[in-house]
């Protein structure tokens, strides 16, 4: 596999039926190469008592995962081993830090005149002071995964994810997702606005979302749109300055849309 090709691969982890990405570089690559934003879902260690800003891992929706699997660029991390080299580095770091702390304590005691300039630190002085045993080690942002497996649509793990109730997967939504991606929209979950997806014309950091998409069937009686709901969506769209769009798939597989908005008179 050439280096170029490898550059576009996305490695994901599936933990507890959740699709997660822990590596920051991978998250950036995902955003830049594929226009997939995902949702950050980890507590930010710098500010743990709030929820508005979160950190790694990035969580992907089932549709985002399938999109990547469909393109053939999705690799699952299996048998995650901590790099042996990494472990050695970690232990060395610890030892170096202890040495440094010891030198610092010695210096401090000498400065305060408790120890004479030539004296050495006795073990009892060193061991008793627990506070000064705090050690700071830099941990890595990403681990070097050694085992990954290319995912395809027929894999058991994919089929299992599709049947999880929490993912609420329907093929129709996936087809509409793919069509929207083809039209260069950036897609995020739309639960907040009463829809299935919300769409941005470009990166969400630079633009407001413009569409709320609700996926429905072409002619399934149970799925028929209640006109009161249509009025609801039309009003919702107007109040948040977005277009409310019904997405559907015809029998021939073609995806089409109907946008609903208040006419402005009456």
Contacts with another protein by CB under 8 A lie at 183, 191, 194, 210-211, 216-221, 223-239, 241-243, 245-246, 248, 250, 256-263, 265-266
Longest dimension (CA), the chain: 95
User: Which one of 107, 133, 208, 258 is the catalytic residue?
Assistant: 208
Q: Which tokens hold the place of 152?
A: 């395809």
Helices 62-71, 171-182: axis angle to 10 degrees equals 60
Terminal-to-terminal C-alpha distance of the chain: 63
User: Which one of 63, 177, 200, 248 is the catalytic residue?
Assistant: 200
Nearer to another protein, 11 or 188 (CB): 188
Nearer to another protein, 145 or 175 (CB): 175
- Taking the complex as a whole, the smallest distance from the CB of residue 233 to another protein amounts, in Å, to 7
What stretch of H or E contains 20?
strand 18-21
User: Which one of 29, 181, 214, 242 is the catalytic residue?
Assistant: 242
- Taking the complex as a whole, the smallest distance from the CB of residue 59 to another protein amounts, in Å, to 20
**Which burial class, exposed, middle or buried, applies to 30 when counting CB atoms under 10 A from its CB (0-12, 13-18, 19+)?**
buried
Cα distance between residue 70 and residue 211, in whole Å: 25
- Taking the complex as a whole, the smallest distance from the CB of residue 138 to another protein amounts, in Å, to 34
- Taking the complex as a whole, the smallest distance from the CB of residue 220 to another protein amounts, in Å, to 7
Provide CB contacts within 8 A for 24, sequence distance 6+: 56, 141, 142
Nearer to another protein, 139 or 226 (CB): 226
Nearer to another protein, 14 or 211 (CB): 211
The reply to whether 112 belongs to the active site is no
The reply to whether 67 belongs to the active site is no
Q: Which residues does the annotation mark as catalytic?
A: 200, 208, 242
């Amino acid at each position: 596999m050439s280096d170029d090709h490898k550059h576009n691969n996305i490695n994901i982890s599936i933990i507890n039926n959740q699709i997660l990405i822990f590596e920051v570089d991978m998250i950036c690559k995902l955003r830049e190469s594929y226009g997939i934003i995902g949702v950050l879902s980890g507590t930010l260690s710098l500010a743990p008592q709030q929820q508005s800003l979160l950190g790694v891992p990035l969580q992907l929706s089932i549709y985002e995962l399938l999109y990547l699997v469909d393109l053939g660029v999705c690799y699952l991390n299996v048998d995650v081993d901590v790099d042996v080299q990494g472990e050695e580095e970690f232990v060395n770091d610890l030892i170096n830090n202890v040495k440094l702390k010891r030198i610092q304590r010695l210096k401090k005691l000498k400065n305060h005149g408790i120890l004479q300039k030539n004296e050495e630190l006795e073990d009892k002085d060193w061991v008793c002071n627990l506070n000064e045993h705090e050690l700071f080690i830099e941990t890595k942002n990403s681990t070097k995964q050694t085992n990954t497996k290319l995912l395809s649509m027929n894999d058991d793990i994919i089929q299992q994810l599709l049947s999880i109730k929490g993912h609420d997967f329907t093929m129709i939504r996936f087809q509409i997702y793919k069509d929207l991606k083809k039209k260069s929209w950036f897609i995020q979950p739309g639960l907040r606005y009463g829809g299935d997806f919300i769409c941005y014309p470009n990166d969400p950091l630079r633009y407001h979302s413009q569409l709320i998409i609700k996926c429905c069937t072409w002619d399934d009686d149970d799925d028929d749109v209640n006109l009161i709901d249509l009025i609801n969506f039309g009003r919702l769209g107007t109040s948040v300055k977005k277009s409310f769009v019904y997405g559907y798939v015809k029998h021939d597989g073609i995806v089409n849309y109907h946008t609903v908005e208040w006419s402005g008179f009456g």
